[in-house]
Amino acid sequence: MSEVFRCFSSTSARLQLLIFLNNYSSHPEFPPRSKVLANNPLLDSLVLSLVLDRSSTACAVGLTLVGKLLPILAVHTPNALISRLPQFISILARVSSWHTPTPQDPIEEEASALLDVNPDLHWQPLTLTFTFNLAAFAPETDRFFSQLYYLFPWNLVRFARNPVEYVEQSGFECPYTAGWTAALDKTVIRTRIEASSRAHGSELQCLNILSPGAFCEPHSSPGLLDRW
């Protein structure tokens, strides 16, 4: 894991390493060894990749990988999963607000709209490397939303109500210098989350009615809303 982490900072190797980790996570021997990854800085790098990188291919592979990790961590390292919940929901927020260009918003103008990454992270974002616009293919979020919803229903309902506010209060520091409000598109997020939540419509309605008192407290810790 240490060697993979060291090489993950290289943009030329990142996509290949994501594919490798995605394949490795399907190996029968991986789940018992997941405790090593749960507290490894490599997982932090995976989160940064999904929050900062601009390659939809890398994002799709990373989302598939994280989708495999969620149930594994829930079984083998539940406390680590709970502690990283703000990061996982921040991933959902970022991917849900993925920029999809229009004819009036060509790829040549997209780079100027990208926000600066916090220099303290020493992170070089993986950008578009092909002549066509990979960002036009917004990553699929339905499955990732469903997995987080089944594990943390209260948190997902609260996030769906006020996605940017939830992420800002979650405790996960924004990796962009401009902050979460500038980095996330609240309208786009809510539109995509509403589409993803249709499969859970009746359940979400019940949660809105029966949510606990802490659900409405603006300063309550998002990670404490769900109990297993």
List pLDDT tens digits, range 112-122. Answer: 347 899 999 99
List pLDDT tens digits, range 49-92. Answer: 999 998 888 999 999 999 999 999 999 999 999 999 999 999 99
- Computed over every residue of the chain, the mean pLDDT equals 81
Q: What is the rounded CA–CA span in Å between residue 66 and residue 130? A: 25
List pLDDT tens digits, range 172-220. Answer: 999 999 999 999 988 888 888 888 877 766 566 655 655 544 334 433 4
State residue 81's pLDDT score: 94
45 pLDDT exceeds 80? yes
State residue 147's pLDDT score: 92
This prediction has a pTM of: 0.83
Count Cβ atoms within 10 A of the Cβ of residue 47 and give its class: 0-12 exposed, 13-18 middle, 19 or more buried: buried
Share of the chain above pLDDT 70, in %: 75
What is the number of other CB atoms lying within 10 angstroms of the CB of residue 75?
10
State residue 129's pLDDT score: 47
15 pLDDT exceeds 90? yes
Nearest to 91 by CA among 127, 62, 116: 62
Q: What is the DSSP letter of 117?
A: B
State residue 43's pLDDT score: 96
Q: What is the rounded CA–CA span in Å between residue 197 and residue 44? A: 27
Label residues 181-206 b or e (16+ Cβ within 10 Å = b).
Answer: eebbbeebbbebbeebbeebeeebee
224 pLDDT exceeds 70? no
Share of the chain above pLDDT 90, in %: 51
Q: What is the rounded CA–CA span in Å between residue 191 and residue 189? A: 5
State residue 99's pLDDT score: 62
Q: What is the rounded CA–CA span in Å between residue 144 and residue 102? A: 26
Residues, the chain: 228
46 in helix, strand or coil?
Answer: helix
